[in-house]
């Protein structure tokens, strides 16, 4: 049909018979074309790249989602790009096929995820705070200011989580740079949004009492989880993933499989006192499955625990993290004059355990008896603290060390 200035009234009235397709050209904007079939009306912009005879067709969208005026505006913008030497069809093809951040994350997790012990936490942070904002952005378009704004928004809710998000984004981009998938890491140069407690942070007796009491105001399962970290000196993520299959109530031990342990070595912890009581209660009526579940019915990650822990930080003298409870347990055991090797076995610090030739090569003793005594002493000291009593620091003395 010959081109003439189209109106919405005319376009609405256009109809095509079965098997028929009408092509209508707008007389006002050269190149703007409407294709009419029995089921749809679609706008496109037809153009030639300078120096080429072949026409290209760029699809704009369907009518009435794109009105006549909107289609004209789009066609004029496309015409300007062509006049500036661009090729909208090729540019759009490149854009569609470009590596987006979501696709980059998929490749990162598929290639590198198995090497990361906290891969589930990485994915959780990305899914919650990053992909909704940057998922469809091209990797080469993501800028440092853009990441900075995202981190600021996360920090308003949880400053420490913002630091974790920053670390995860940086890990993804560092891998992408090493694989030639990105030219640079936009996180480099950004500062942490949250101020975190120094790594020597541990809770004193007053804070332990305040925290223990404050946990009564939180969800019972969360309170149990936090208390177990302190009572066992275990890694928060390992406690969060505790399952019924790992618990032997008859032997009163918790056997953590190697794939769940930071050191990749299976770890056995005796269950005594309050820790045993908590685990017994959590295990009631369960033969399998996680002992801790989020509101979504999944086993919590250490990141879930970190976010929840922030709700109780007001009762402490200064900011702390769940990992500081593990450090607190180690500090108490040290104050009780429990030898360092036994503490290392309780904490599963393989660097200390294997620091000697004996420990790394010959010693296959599991220290279960020593670990039990240490945890019993820790349990008694925590009970005394909660009762505002004072026990002598040499309640227990165990002289370990290497042996043949």
Phi-psi region of 188 (alpha: psi -120 to 50; beta: other; left: phi over 0): beta
pLDDT in tens, 276-293: 999 999 999 899 999 998
63 by Cβ neighbours in 10 Å (0-12 / 13-18 / 19+) ranks as buried
Which residues sit opposite 138 in a β-bridge? Answer: 100
Choose the weakest-confidence range: 132-141, 256-265, 340-349, 385-394.
385-394
Q: CB of 229 within 8 A of CB of 322? A: yes
* Better-scored residue on pLDDT, 263 or 147: 147
194 by Cβ neighbours in 10 Å (0-12 / 13-18 / 19+) ranks as middle
pLDDT in tens, 299-348: 787 667 777 777 777 778 777 888 889 999 999 999 999 998 899 999 98
The CA-CA-CA angle for residues 93, 148, 91, to 5°, reads 10
pLDDT in tens, 58-91: 999 999 999 999 999 999 999 999 999 999 998 8
Query: Is the confidence at residue 223, as pLDDT, over 50?
Result: yes
pLDDT in tens, 139-181: 989 999 999 999 999 999 888 889 999 999 999 999 998 888 8
User: What sign does the CA torsion over 108, 113, 118, 120 have?
Assistant: positive
pLDDT in tens, 243-262: 999 999 999 999 999 888 87
The pLDDT of residue 261 is 82
Query: Is the confidence at residue 361, as pLDDT, over 70?
Result: no
CA end-to-end span of the chain: 98
pLDDT in tens, 4-59: 899 999 999 999 988 899 999 999 999 999 999 999 999 999 999 988 888 999 99
Q: What is the DSSP letter of 126?
A: I
Residue 199 pLDDT class (50, 70, 90 cuts): low
Residue 46 host element (H or E): strand 41-48
Of 293, 217, 282, the residue nearest 244 (C-alpha):
282
């Amino acid at each position: 049909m010959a081109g003439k200035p189209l109106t919405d009234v005319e376009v609405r009235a256009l109809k095509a018979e079965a098997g028929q397709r009408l092509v209508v050209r707008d007389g006002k904007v050269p190149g703007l074309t409407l294709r009419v079939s029995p089921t749809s009306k679609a706008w496109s912009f037809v153009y030639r790249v300078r120096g080429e005879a072949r026409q290209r067709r760029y699809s704009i969208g369907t009518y009435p989602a794109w009105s006549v005026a909107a289609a004209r505006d789009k066609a004029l913008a496309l015409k300007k790009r062509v006049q500036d030497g661009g090729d909208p069809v090729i540019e759009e093809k490149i854009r569609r096929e470009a590596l987006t951040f979501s696709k980059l994350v998929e490749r990162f997790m598929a290639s590198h995820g198995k090497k990361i012990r906290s891969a589930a936490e990485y994915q959780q942070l990305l899914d919650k705070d990053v992909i909704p904002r940057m998922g469809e952005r091209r990797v080469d378009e993501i800028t440092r200011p853009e990441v900075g704004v995202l981190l600021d928004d996360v920090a308003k809710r949880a400053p420490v989580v913002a630091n974790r998000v920053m670390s995860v984004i940086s890990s993804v981009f560092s891998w992408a740079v090493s694989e030639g998938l990105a030219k640079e890491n936009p996180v480099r140069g950004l500062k942490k949004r949250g101020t975190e407690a120094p790594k020597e942070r541990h809770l004193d007796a007053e804070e332990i009492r305040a925290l223990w009491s404050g946990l009564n105001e939180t969800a019972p399962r969360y309170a149990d989880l936090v208390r177990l970290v302190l009572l066992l000196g275990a890694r928060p993520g390992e406690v969060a993933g505790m399952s019924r299959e790992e618990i032997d109530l008859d032997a009163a031990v918790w056997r953590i499989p190697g794939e769940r342990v930071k050191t990749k070595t299976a770890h056995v912890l005796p269950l005594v006192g309050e820790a045993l009581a908590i685990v017994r209660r959590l295990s009631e009526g369960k033969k399998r499955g996680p002992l801790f579940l989020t509101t979504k019915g999944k086993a919590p990650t250490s990141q879930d625990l970190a976010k929840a822990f922030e709700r109780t930080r007001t009762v402490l003298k200064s900011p702390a993290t769940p990992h500081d409870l593990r450090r607190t347990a180690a500090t108490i055991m040290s104050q009780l004059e429990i030898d360092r090797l036994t503490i290392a076995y309780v904490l599963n610090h393989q660097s200390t355990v294997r620091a000697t030739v004996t420990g790394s090569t010959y010693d296959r003793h599991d220290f279960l008896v020593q670990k039990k005594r240490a945890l019993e002493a820790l349990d008694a000291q925590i009970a005394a603290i909660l009762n505002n009593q004072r026990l002598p620091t040499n309640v227990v003395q165990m002289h370990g060390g290497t042996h043949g």
